Amino acid sequence: MSRPDTLPDFSNPPLNEVVLGVQFSTPRGYQQIRAYEVWQLYREQFPTVEEQPPLAPTFETFGLPSGPQLSFNMTTGAQHDRFWFLSPNKDELIQFQDDRILHNWRKVGDMSNEYPRFERMVVRFEEELRAFDSYVKNLASQTLNITQCEISYINHIYLDGPERSLNVSDVFRFAQFSGEKPEDFSSTFRRTISDADGAPIGRLHSEVQTGLSNLNGQRVLVFTLTARGAPSQPTIPGALEFLKVGREMVVNTFTDLTTDSVHEIWGRKL
C-alpha cells in the first residue's frame, strides 16, 4: 500500500500514539483459556504480556429513535480479559480480547522513537489479522466476521517550547479569541462517514483537551482524531479499505484544523 500523492505530510508531526483496530463477532469455540494460543501467534515479536480490563463493544449507529434511551447491561457467561502483547521496548503492542484486535504504536522512553508510518503499520496489522483468521478457522469452520474498524491518531502538541510558546489560537484555525486567552480549552465534534452511495457507515471523531505532560509537566494539547465504522464487507480486505480511507480522513482533517504556522514547526512537506 503506497502513500497517496496528495495526502499532506509532515517530517516531525506531534504524534504520540497511533491505533489500528477491528472488532468482530466472538469466534465459535473460543474460550479465554485459549488466549495463550493466540499469544503464540505473535510471541516472537511481542514476548511480554499484560492483563487489562476488557473494552466494551463500540458501534457507530444511525437512525435510532430520538429522546431518552434506556440502557441495560446484560451479561451471560464468563467475562473475558483484554491482553496486551508488547514488543521488547514496548513501543508497539497488540491488544487482544475475544471480540477485538488492535495494534498500537506509541512514543516511549525519551520519546525519540520514530513513527513507522501507516503504510508499514497496516501491512503488519494485516499479517496479524490473517494469522488470527487462520487460527479461528481451526477452531471451527469459520472466518473472522468483522463488524467495526477504527483508526486513531493521538497528538500531543506542546505549548511551552524551547524557542517559542504557543496558545490555542496559534494551533487551531477555529479557535481564535479576542482579549484574554482561555486558561484551558476543550473541543469535540463528529462527522459522518458515508459510502459511495451516500449511506452512513461510520463517524470521524475529533477531541481536543488541555493538560499536563506526564513526562515533563509541560502544558500540552491532546488532539485525538478517530475514524470508526463498518467495513463494506465483514472481511479483512474490507477492514483494510476502511482503515485506508479513515487514515486519509484523519490526516486531512488534522491539516485542515491546524494553522500554517504550526505546520512550519512540524515540517510540512506537502
Using CA of residue 248, residue 254, residue 257, residue 258, what is the dihedral sign? negative
Cell (9 digits) for 27: 469466534
Give residue-wise pLDDT tens across range 33-68.
Answer: 999 999 999 999 999 999 999 999 999 999 865 555
Cell (9 digits) for 35: 488466549
pTM equals: 0.93
- What residues contact 267, with CB distance under 8 A and at least 6 apart? 10, 11, 12
Between CA 170 and CA 176 the distance in angstroms is 8
Residues comprising the chain, all counted:
270
- Tell me, what's the pLDDT at 23? 98
Number of other residues whose CB lies within 10 A of the CB of residue 136: 19
**pLDDT at residue 135 above 60?**
yes
* Domain boundaries of the chain, sorted by first residue: 15-56+81-265
**pLDDT at residue 227 above 60?**
yes
Alpha-helix runs per DSSP H in the chain: 35-42, 118-139, 168-171, 236-257, 260-265
Contact between 107 and 91 (Cβ < 8 Å) = yes
When pLDDT is averaged across residues 23-33 and rounded to a whole number, the result is: 97
- Tell me, what's the pLDDT at 217? 81
Amino acid at 266: W
Give residue-wise pLDDT tens across range 100-130.
Answer: 999 999 999 989 999 999 999 999 999 999 9
Please choose, from the candidates 233, 240, 228, 5, the residue with its C-alpha nearest in 3D space to the C-alpha of residue 123. 240
- Tell me, what's the pLDDT at 77? 58
Give residue-wise pLDDT tens across range 168-200.
Answer: 999 999 999 888 888 899 999 999 999 999 999
- What residues contact 56, with CB distance under 8 A and at least 6 apart? none
**Helix, strand, coil: what percent of the chain each, to 5?**
25, 30, 45
Please choose, from the candidates 22, 250, 264, the residue with its C-alpha nearest in 3D space to the C-alpha of residue 122. 22
Q: What is the 3-state secondary structure (H, E, C) of 205-221?
A: EEEEEEEECCCCCCEEE
Using CA of residue 124, residue 126, residue 131, residue 136, what is the dihedral sign? positive
